[in-house]
Amino acid sequence: MNEEKYLNEIFRKHKKQLYIQLSPSENESIAGFCERLKNKIKGQSCQIIKAVCFGSLKYQSEFETEIRKSISGSFPLTWVEGTNCSNAFMNGLQLWATESEISYLTTDFNAYASFFEDENSRYLYIGHIHSDPSQLPKEAYSVILGKLNIFLENHDFSFKDVVRTWYYLDDILGWYDEFNQVRTDFFKNTGVLTNRIPASTGVGGKNEAGSSVTMELLATQPKNTQVTIESIAPTLQNEAMEYGSSFSRAIKISSYKNEWMTISGTASVLPNGKTTNVNDLMKQIHFSFQAIEGLLLKEKYSFKDIVRATAYLKDKNTMHVLQSFISENPNYQFPFVISENTICRDNLLFEIELDLEKGS
């Protein structure tokens, strides 16, 4: 199978939003890749909301130096350690930009934020969030949630406005149960559980600070009654809350003539919360794609509406299995970044997440 079939890029302009997903070729230099990205953005009249990169930490510093030279703006850049699945310097980059004016904000805990608004909503994205590396994972996660809560409130948001979170946890299998308990307790205390639980992804990943938690979040606050934000119930699975994990399978934001939907990290998990297809990667991949497809069909989306997609493999040496599956299933040949990251259970071998946008 031609590698470009599943690693080809996304470049999509939709109304005032620009989405770019790009992977370097095996022999492409960091400087060359950043120049290619710069040329993609050139002439778009957009400011960058966020950039997220997946790849080995050893290339992070050089890449950040080059991208800051190539592209202006103090945008949040989150680097997620995911072992490279090719001989390129990283697995890929995902970038979100807007024609709206952005205010770039700093925090007192070394995270970075982008605030912007349009005619329908206010948005606050926070990236490059790292917990305190001197603290134990459970304590560190609880503390960073508290700091994020204060930051949101200081900018007239609350955790009830958060629609999406991403977690990349060092030694995820060693403390995932504690992570879930801290998150659930925090959501209870802040009223999130009785409001609307964010969609989320949680996989393994280290960071340059040596923290137990790397994190991103997106908060959205409607400005009028035309905007609705709702959790979307799954078709092949149950909500994760039913087996003790506090996230929504999907969140959809609808406004006049436009919709955006984000689908949480989706793996081979049955409605009762048990892993299915244990030790069978091909079947786990198939189940995950079917679960995603069920949500899309229910909400009248198609894979052509994708603006961002990430696939996580537990073992990069099983890439050939994913390649074979995609080759045999033409309906699933859409662009996604592939990264080697530990999934939240030892018997899960694959996970995938998406963002989609549609409208007239």
Check whether residue 92 and residue 157 sit in a common domain. no
Total domain count, the chain:
3
Whether the Cβ atoms of residue 179 and residue 137 lie closer than 8 Å to each other: yes
Check whether residue 165 and residue 218 sit in a common domain. yes
Q: What is the pLDDT along the chain (360 residues), one digit of tens a residue?
A: 334 444 568 999 988 999 999 999 988 999 999 999 999 999 899 999 999 999 999 999 999 999 999 998 899 999 999 888 888 999 999 999 999 999 999 999 999 999 999 999 999 999 999 999 999 999 999 999 999 999 999 999 999 999 999 999 999 999 999 999 999 999 999 999 999 999 999 999 999 999 999 999 999 999 999 999 999 988 888 887 777 788 999 999 998 878 999 999 999 999 988 999 999 999 999 999 999 999 999 999 999 999 999 999 999 999 999 999 999 999 999 999 999 999 999 999 999 999 999 976
Q: Is residue 136 part of a domain?
A: yes
196, 224, 252 — which closes off a domain? 224
How far is the C-alpha of 72 from the C-alpha of 111, rounded, in Å?
A: 18
DSSP string, 136-204: -HHHHHHHHHHHHHHHHHHTT--GGGEEEEEEEETTHHHHHHHHHHHHHHHHHHHT-TTT-PPEEEEEE
How far is the C-alpha of 86 from the C-alpha of 315, rounded, in Å?
A: 12
Check whether residue 92 and residue 127 sit in a common domain. no
Q: CATH number, domain at 38?
A: 3.30.1330.40
Check whether residue 77 and residue 113 sit in a common domain. no
CA distances from 107 to 60, 247, 252, 358 (A): 21, 25, 28, 33
Check whether residue 321 and residue 354 sit in a common domain. yes
How far is the C-alpha of 297 from the C-alpha of 300, rounded, in Å?
A: 5
Model-level pTM? 0.95
Q: Which domain holds residue 304?
A: 263-360
Q: Is residue 234 part of a domain?
A: no
Q: Smallest Cα–Cα separation from 265: which of 165, 163, 182?
A: 165
CA distances from 199 to 108, 235, 236 (A): 26, 16, 17
Tell me the β-bridge partners of 98. Answer: 17, 47
